[in-house]
Amino acid sequence: MSGDIPALVGQAWPYVSAAITAYGAAVLAKAQDEAVDATVGWGRRILRRIFGAAEDDSGDAEPPRPLTALAADPDDGDLQAALRVEIRNALAADLVLAEEIRAMLAQAGSTTTTTVRASHGGVAAGRDITGPFTTGPNSPITITRIHTEVRPAGDVDGGETRPFELPRSAKFVGREDQLSRMADLLDAPGFADPAAAPVIRLVVQGMGGIGKSELVRVYGARHRDRYRLMWWITADGPDAITRGLAALAAALHPPIALVQDLAEQARWAAAWLRTHDRWLLAFDNVDDPGNVREWVDLLARPGGHIVITTRRDVYWPGAHVITLNVLSEEAAADLLMTVSGRTGPADAEHAAEIVRELGRLPVAVEQAAAFIRMERTTSLGRYLAGLHDHPEEHYRKREEGTTEQRTMARLWDAHLAALRRHDQDRGLGSEHLLRVLAHLAPDNVPWAVLVQPPVNDLDGSLRLLASYSMITRSGEDAAETVSTHRLFQSVIRTGLDYDDPRRRAARDDAVAAVLSAAPPYPDTDPGGWPAWRDLLLHIDALEAHHPPDTESENLSALLNMAALYAFTQGMVELGHRYARRALSIAEVVYGPDHPTLAVRLGNLAMSLYGLDRSAEAVPLFERALSITEAALGPDHPDVAIRLSNLAACFLALDRPDEAVPLFKRAMTITAAAQGLEHPIMATLLSNLASCYLRLDRPAEAVPLLELALEITEISLGPDHPTVATSLTNLASSFRALDRPAEAVPLDERALAVTEAAYGPHHPFMTTSLLNLAKSLHALDRSDEAIPLEEKALAITEAAHGPDHPDVAIRLGDLASSLLALDRPDEAMPLFERALAITEAAHGPDHPDVAISLGELAACQLALDRPAEAIPLFERALAITEAAHGPDHPDTVYLSEELRRLKPHD
């Protein structure tokens, strides 16, 4: 029972979140008027029951601190995670209360859940009935219906959104000229008039620690009133950029975080930026210009400002560039004396010598100043003498490290003794905490992570590190985050050997902290996704900072969970990387035959399947099956999971004859272990039916799909979105049997269920719309089918933007229907646009381009233009033959068309 608490929290979260958004901190107060929205009303009742305010209580309950903080900023992922932990703890401590909340959710009626416990692995499940889906050990597979609708980006105002980085330096000196130039470059004429103001791209370039990011922060602080939206993205890799844009989408339109993956969220954010003005977007710490070029080009919208910071001195086409150098000696000395408080007549000479020793690097000067300020008995002269105890020549002997890294290494060694003295005298753990932070991402370490490491007096340690300018603290209470300069992090890590016990302990504690803070069930609980999105940067850092031969069991578990989250967000490449590393560590930790290894193998295989590399996935699935059978016996339910995943992979490889016996054996095991009406049986029946459809045996598929529909309705209820999938599969079988009249009512019901679950404009609607259109076309009711295809096109454009490859597919579907109705003049511009999008997305030689060329050529023939059709067919033939060979059916068809059009060649 207690193991189901996280799943219960996940079910309740949509209600809770809606109530907090509606009522704010007063959500626990006795309301005079109940919320009109049923979701809000149930959320309020759930919160009042959990936190001590009974429905008949006329008084107000005291809200817990995370709830109060979240009410002020409902979109903050860290605050959401903190409140979820609070709720989870309350329910775990009172199982009677948990049962009451479960009953309330059932009464609410708009959340239907089924939980399936997998003892060592996952299940084959998901919207694609042939796709393998694997979870971790003992995780519940929870299917939650969320009533929410994603609105088109152009329809969302967004209000005033300004989560921009605040200045961190105690004093801003020596950069006023660059700041004025930055303001001048971004002050294009007519900025308030979007039609007159072009998008402006500005690059701030310079070495690490030079103050690039701080310049942009100060600009943002001084000019915040110019913008309706200001957004900061740590952009040190393509995945980080996607996550940053996804976070922007969630801030502008919270429902999107629950129903679309990160890539879709990022595209939605880009669409918002393209349709609005007066925004400032900062891409910080860009290492490769190619990582941002796609987004920068996509955001060429009048009325927006893009600022990029980078260490790379390369050509940035179409951008203004401001190059930062070290501070002048006068400015650096002024910064040192002002921040340190040492401003006497005798201090100027020592200050000038100190800043020369530090290379006039702003981050080094400021940290030295903070140290001197804290060490009240340390004069500038004494500090200079101590710095001489760590001569620059010593650090030049290092084989690795830039000039700025050597500078920071001198400071670290010089300041370390002071930290250790404070730790000993005051019972703090600041040195170890700083080493832990050095293994995480530099920015925004959340409070949920900070509280995990074994550090004496955490708050005192944080205050000490902040006073020495070694960290920057932002936010309060559960919303607090900590940042450390990446240059300083590098110095702290490389100051110790990989196998030094202190470095190893810091690495281990950093991994344990993130693992403890990570929400459970990343593949099934949307409520935890905002926290996962914020943790990925730190997971990336942990992976990078562990040696290749690490034996960290915790890191393997964390990467495995991160892979599952990445899969749900459409980030299959990233999930593949995580899964591959998780497996390599597990093989070292557990050996080649441990059941845990089967889970890791299955997840890696799933990533290959998602990357359309099913042939490489097969041996991994086979090995996972072999390990599971050997460890658990041939009739264990987990064996059925492995069989189903392997069979789904064979089906993806167009080997349905090999998949059939595997699916049948999986069904036998599942029926014996869990009963004929278990939800997994519905998935297996659907998968087996897919095999029969692929083998051109639809008559055998129909009874299987009818039974799968019956099981799904019993286990999930008649209005669950998964029922729509079962209805669609059954309707497809009837169409294959040339019985479209029986398919139509199934397709119509599938459409109604999907619309009720997700809203009329959700991308999931397109499948139901197009399937119903197919059935109507088959009944010669094309006048009813065309509007459905047009609606599917409109939804896809709104969700993905006008140039997405899916839009090309929808255009081709609609154009083909018009062509079949002998309306080639209407079809022609749609085919032409589809071809242009496909070429832009995939390149001129992709097989999909050949399909678009063939469709366009057929349209030209329908318009009696063979001369225009022939070169299109010729190009399509060349692409298809190169991709598939001379004997492929598509190659043969195109060759025959050309022979018919050119009989004498």
162 and 300 in a single domain? The answer is yes
Q: Is residue 31, in this structure, part of any structural domain at all?
A: yes
* Confidence category of residue 390, pLDDT binned at 50, 70, 90: low
**Phi-psi bin for 661: left (phi > 0), alpha (psi -120 to 50), beta?**
alpha
The values of phi and psi at residue 482, to 5°, are -130, 140
Cα–Cα distance, 247 to 575 (Å, whole number) = 19
pLDDT over 70 at 223, yes or no: yes
Comparing 60 with 159, the larger pLDDT belongs to 159
162 and 99 inside one domain: no
**Same structural domain for residues 102 and 163?**
no
Reply yes or no on whether the pLDDT at 36 is more than 50. no
Residue range(s) defining the domain that contains residue 248: 155-323
The string of pLDDT tens digits covering residues 515-558 is: 999 998 888 777 788 889 889 999 999 998 888 888 899 999 99
The pLDDT value recorded for residue 31 is 46
Residue 45 inside a domain? The answer is: yes
Residues 221 and 316 in one domain: yes
Output b/e per residue, 520-545; b: 16+ Cβ within 10 A: bbbbbbbbbbbbbbbbbbbbbbbbeb
| Percentage above 70 pLDDT, the chain | 84
Residue 224 belongs to a domain = yes
Q: Is residue 195 domain-shared with residue 307, that is, in the same domain?
A: yes
- 481-483 and 445-446 strand pairing: antiparallel
Taking residue 899's Cβ as centre, other Cβ atoms within 10 Å add up to: 11
Alpha carbons 481 and 280: distance in angstroms, whole number: 23
Q: Is residue 225 part of a domain?
A: yes
CATH number at residue 185: 3.40.50.300
- Domain end (from 289, 323, 357): 323
pLDDT at 871 over 90: yes
pLDDT computed for residue 20 by the predictor: 81
Report the C-alpha gap between 94 and 169 in whole angstroms: 47
| The pLDDT of residue 498 | 60
pLDDT of 54-104, one tens digit each?
444 444 556 777 788 787 777 666 677 778 778 877 887 777 677 778 766
Is the dihedral angle over the CA atoms 385, 386, 387, 392 positive or is it negative?
A: positive
118 pLDDT band, cuts 50/70/90, is very low
Considering the domain architecture, whether residues 68 and 202 belong to the same structural domain is answered as no
Query: Residue 116's pLDDT is what?
Result: 28
Task: pLDDT band for 708, please (50, 70, 90 cuts).
Answer: very high
Beta carbons of 599 and 137 less than 8 angstroms apart: yes
How buried is residue 54: exposed, middle or buried, by Cβ count under 10 Å (0-12/13-18/19+)?
exposed
Residue 446, class by beta-carbon neighbours within 10 Å (0-12 exposed, 13-18 middle, 19+ buried)? buried
The region that residue 570 occupies, defined by phi over 0 for left and psi between -120 and 50 for alpha, beta otherwise, is left
Contact in structure between 602 and 564 (CB atoms under 8 Å): no
Which residues, other chains included, contact 500 with Cβ-Cβ below 8 Å and sequence gap of 6+? none
Question: What was the pLDDT predicted at 657?
Answer: 95
Confidence of residue 866 (pLDDT cuts 50, 70, 90): very high
Q: Which residues contact 689 (CB under 8 A, 6 or more apart)?
A: 700, 701, 702, 704, 705, 708, 729, 733
Tell me the C-alpha distance between 446 and 517, whole Å: 9
Rounded Cα–Cα distance for residues 167 and 56 (Å): 49
Please state the φ and ψ torsions of residue 281, each to the nearest 5 degrees: -120, 120
Rounded Cα distance between 357 and 354, Å, is: 5
CB contact at 8 A, 21 and 13? no
**Secondary structure of residue 473 in the 3-state scheme:** strand
Tell me, what DSSP letter sits at residue 236? S
Q: What is the pLDDT of residue 97?
A: 75
Confidence of residue 212 (pLDDT cuts 50, 70, 90): confident
- CA dist 509 and 495 (Å) reads 18
Tell me, yes or no, whether 475 lies in a domain.
Answer: no
CB atoms within 10 A of CB 323: 12
**pLDDT tens digits along 754-781:** 898 878 888 889 999 999 999 999 999 9
Whether 671 maps to a domain, the answer reads no
Instruction: Give CA separation, 10 vs 18, 126, 529, 774, in Å.
Output: 13, 18, 11, 37
The answer to whether residues 64 and 166 belong to one domain is no
The span from the CA of 175 to the CA of 178, in Å, is 5
Going through 212-360 in order, the beta strands assigned E by DSSP cover 229-234, 279-286, 304-310, 320-323
- Kindly state whether residue 449 falls inside one of the protein's structural domains: no
Considering 323, 347, 365, which residue would you say is the last residue of a domain? 323
Question: How large is the average pLDDT for residues 298-324?
Answer: 79
Which whole number is the average pLDDT over 203-228? Answer: 86
The answer to whether residues 192 and 285 belong to one domain is yes
At 365 the pLDDT is 84
Q: Which of 207-211, 510-514, 591-595 has the highest mean pLDDT?
A: 510-514
Using alpha carbons only, give the angle 52, 54, 56 rounded to the nearest 5 degrees. 155
User: What gap in Å lies between CA 11 and CA 77, rounded to an integer?
Assistant: 17
Token readout for 884 is 């598939």
- Of 24, 26, 9, give the one whose Cα is nearest residue 71: 24
- Parallel, antiparallel or unpaired: strands 279-286 and 229-234: parallel
Going by pLDDT thresholds of 50, 70 and 90, the confidence category of residue 125 is: very low
User: Looking at the predicted structure, is the pLDDT value of residue 189 above 60?
Assistant: no
Q: Are residues 289 and 215 located together in one domain of the fold? A: yes
pTM, rounded to two decimals: 0.66
- Let me know if residue 215 belongs to a domain: yes
Least confident of 113-127, 260-274, 485-499: 113-127
Separation between Cα atoms, residue 600 and residue 557, nearest integer Å? 9
Residues 105 and 182 occupy one common structural domain? no
Going by C-alpha positions, the residue among 845, 830, 897, 836 that lies closest to residue 870 is: 897
pLDDT of 129 above 80 = no
Is the pLDDT at 586 greater than 90? The verdict is: yes
* Residue-level pLDDT at 392: 52
Given this model, what pLDDT does residue 354 score?
Answer: 85
195 shares its domain with 301: yes
> Could you give the CA distance from residue 686 to residue 666 in angstroms, rounded to a whole number?
13
Lookup: tokens for 50: 């959990």
So what's the pLDDT on residue 663? Answer: 95
Mean pLDDT on 580-594: 92
Number of domain units in the chain: 2
What number is the average pLDDT over the span 238-263? 82
User: Half-sphere exposure of residue 313, counting CA atoms within 13 Å on the CB side?
Assistant: 6
How high is the mean pLDDT of the chain? Answer: 81
Confidence of residue 147 (pLDDT cuts 50, 70, 90): very low
In this structure, the number of other CB atoms found within 10 A of the CB of residue 783 comes to 9
For the segment 313-326, the average pLDDT, to the nearest whole number, is: 80
Structure tokens at 4: 């189901």
The count of residues in the chain is 905
510 Cβ neighbours under 8 A, 6+ residues apart: 436, 437, 439, 440, 453, 542
Task: Select from 323, 353, 383 the last residue of a domain.
Answer: 323
Tens digits of residue pLDDT in 776-816: 999 999 999 999 999 999 998 887 778 888 899 999 999 99
Is the model more confident about 691 or about 209? 691
pLDDT above 60 for 740: yes
Flag whether pLDDT at 167 surpasses 50: yes
What pLDDT shows up at residue 493? 81
| pLDDT band per the 50, 70, 90 thresholds, residue 43 | confident
Element (H, E) at 721: helix 721-736
Q: How far is it, in rounded angstroms, from Cα 831 to Cα 861? A: 13
% of the chain residues with pLDDT over 90 = 31
Same domain? For 291 and 197 the reply is: yes
Is residue 621 within 8 Å of residue 110, measured between CB atoms? no
Q: Which positions ≥6 away from 761 have C-beta within 8 Å?
A: 149, 150, 151, 152, 795, 798, 799
- Helices (H), ranges, 341-402: 347-357, 362-374, 380-388, 392-396
Query: Given pLDDT bands bounded at 50, 70 and 90, which one contains residue 186?
Result: confident
In the numeric block, the tokens 């890696």 are attached to 604
What is the pLDDT at residue 160? 63
